Amino acid sequence: MNKPVDPALMQAAEAIGSAGTHPMDAHWMPFTANRQFKKAPRLLTRAAGMHYWDDKGRQILDGAAGLWCVNAGHTRPRIVQAIQAQAAEMDFAPPFQMSHPKAFELAERVAEIAPAGMNKVFFVNSGSEAVETALKMALAYHRVRGEGSRTRLIGRERGYHGVNFGGISVGGMVANRKMFGTMLGGVDHLRHTHDPVRNAFTVGQPAHGAELADDLERLVALHDASTIAAVIVEPIAGSTGVLVPPQGYLQRLRDICDKHGILLIFDEVITGFGRTGQPFAAQTFGVTPDLITCAKGLTNGAVPMGAVIARQKIHDTFMQGPEHLIEFYHGYTYSAHPLACAAALGTLDTYAEEGLLTRASEMAGYFAQAVHSLKGEPNVIDVRNFGLVGGIELSPIEGQPTKRAFDIFLDVWQQGLLLRTTGDILALSPPLIVERSQIDQIVEMLRGAIRRAA
Ligand SMILES: Cc1ncc(COP(=O)(O)O)c(C=O)c1O
């Protein structure tokens, strides 16, 4: 049936040229201001290395690694070839009671770069699925070993763990939670670690706030350890605006978990695969969790894929009872999808050949200096950084929270820069191949836009 097309959308569609000649009303876009977008679309049509190109042929410097995922830069040959070859060889293999060789090869490769002792890898298709999987693994682990009373899950304020029900329950972003009812029961939260009064403009890890980990002791005192299965935190909270863990905080959390038999889950969907200067933030911060969730950089964003990396003892706990029985009733049709495995293997090869999993540690000093040079610019109330992640916090326009950052996002897009905003925070996470001159470019474009937005 022909529907009348909104003239404003037609106009918008015409404005976007040959790549976007379709009306834009059918696509309900995720986490997007749909009406604003469709009036002035931002369409990406090509990418290579550090850059995108839009539908008008403009080159856009990628200051966000797409969405924190394209760590090796765009359309890297090994990854492209791996996907192409796999698509021609075998499209799909059922992952339940069947598999294919690349799934095992990839699991070994991930285990090789994971923290010592974390050597069991369960594949999923996204960060959100990795989180659900890790939470279920934690609950089932305790039950299998005879402590089925451990049903509580502890998250943290300002945490982001994807958008599924488990993830938003343990997450702490109000906009992602408030519309969706009561979510999972039996969930509690630690306070977040953001403390601008004591820590504003800290370079690297803030000095103050390790004691906030003691919130876990309070929750143990309230609920009793025998009811708590796991705690989940992002080592660096990305989506709520780059909150770097205070010195000693993660270790203290680890110690309290150990004391009470609580599993510690690091959500490394953003920090995994080199963002902090080591393959995983667990290694950078010297704290080993029981479970790691990852996604994004696993395939360099080229094919959807996530994973949970588990300590051997967790996996082994499930391996009991008659051998013909399924040990963990969980998985997805596309777990360890052949295309995703091929993309991930090509990605890990690229990371290894170019030393990308540690490059952020080499670039961190330069990057820190560059982003902290924004201190003193109008409305900049904090600058935070670690590895190749930066957060610039702006004072909100009175009565219009998020608008200042969004205006800057639109301004730099016009100049040819992609970044990410959350609230009134500008987040930077360039691909790990970024050069110093490109860091300068990013920061100078930002500086101009921050001044114009004043
Ligand atoms: C820490 C963290 N966990 C989970 C997710 C969800 O990942 P996905 O969007 O792939 O479901 C994200 C996404 O940004 C994330 O940053």
Consecutive 10-residue averages of pLDDT for the chain (454 residues): 45 46 90 95 98 98 98 98 98 98 98 98 98 98 98 98 98 96 96 98 98 98 98 97 98 98 98 98 98 98 98 98 97 98 99 98 98 98 98 97 96 97 97 98 98 95
Atom of ligand 1 nearest to the CA of 162: 6
Residues 51 and 90 in one domain: no
- pLDDT computed for residue 11 by the predictor: 52
Write out the DSSP string of 354-370.
Answer: HTHHHHHHHHHHHHHHH
| Statement to judge: residues 406 and 418 lie in one domain | yes
Residues with CB under 6 A from ligand 1: 68, 126-128, 131, 160-162, 234, 238-239, 267, 269-270, 295
- Closest atom of ligand 1 to 271 CA is 1
- From 325, 354, 383, give the residue that closes a domain: 354
Distance 446 CA to ligand 1 centre (A): 25
Of 68, 156, 160, the one to substitute when testing ligand 1's pocket (max ligand atoms within 8 A of C-beta) is 160
Q: What is the largest CA-CA distance in the chain?
A: 68
CA–centroid distance, residue 293 to ligand 1 (Å):
9
Is the same domain home to 222 and 273? Answer: yes
Residue 3 falls inside a structural domain: no
How many domains are there within the chain? Answer: 2
Residues 340 and 429 occupy one common structural domain:
no
Burial call 406-442: b when 16+ CB within 10 Å, e when fewer: bbbbebbbeebbbbbbbbbbbbbbbbbbbeeebbebb
* Same domain for 393 and 322: no
Same domain, 280 and 427: no
Examine the fold and report which residue of 337, 354, 371 is the final residue of a domain before the chain moves on.
354
- For residue 33, is it within any domain? no
- Residue 184 CA to residue 50 CA, distance in Å, equals 40
Indicate if 374 and 345 belong to the same structural domain: no
Q: How far apart, in whole angstroms, are the C-alpha atoms of residue 280 and residue 293?
A: 10
Q: Are residues 125 and 259 in the same domain?
A: yes
Residues 268 and 320 grouped into a single domain = yes
- The minimum-distance atom of ligand 1 relative to the CA of 164 is 11
Query: Rounded to the nearest 5°, which phi and psi values hold at 441?
Result: -60, -45
Residue 345 and residue 363 share a domain: no
Q: Which atom of ligand 1 is nearest to the CA of 238?
A: 16
**What does the pLDDT read at residue 351?**
98
Same domain? 223 vs 113: yes
Query: Domain of 316?
Result: 78-354
Domain ends where: 330, 354, 378? 354
- Is there a domain that residue 24 lies in? no
Tell me how far the alpha carbon of residue 152 lies from the centroid of ligand 1, in angstroms.
22
Partners of residue 307 on adjacent β-strands: 123, 294
Instruction: Give me ligand 1 centre to Cα 14, in Å.
Output: 34
> Which atom belonging to ligand 1 lies closest to the Cα atom of 234?
1
CA of 323 to the centre of ligand 1 (A): 34
Look at residue 26 and tell me if it is in a domain.
no
CATH number for the domain harbouring residue 405: 3.90.1150.10
Q: Which of 32, 242, 269, 292 to mutate to test the pocket of ligand 1 (most atoms within 8 A of CB)?
A: 269
**Protein residue whose Cα sits closest to atom 7 of ligand 1:** 127
CA of 134 to the centre of ligand 1 (A): 13
- 74 CA distance to ligand 1 centroid (A)? 20
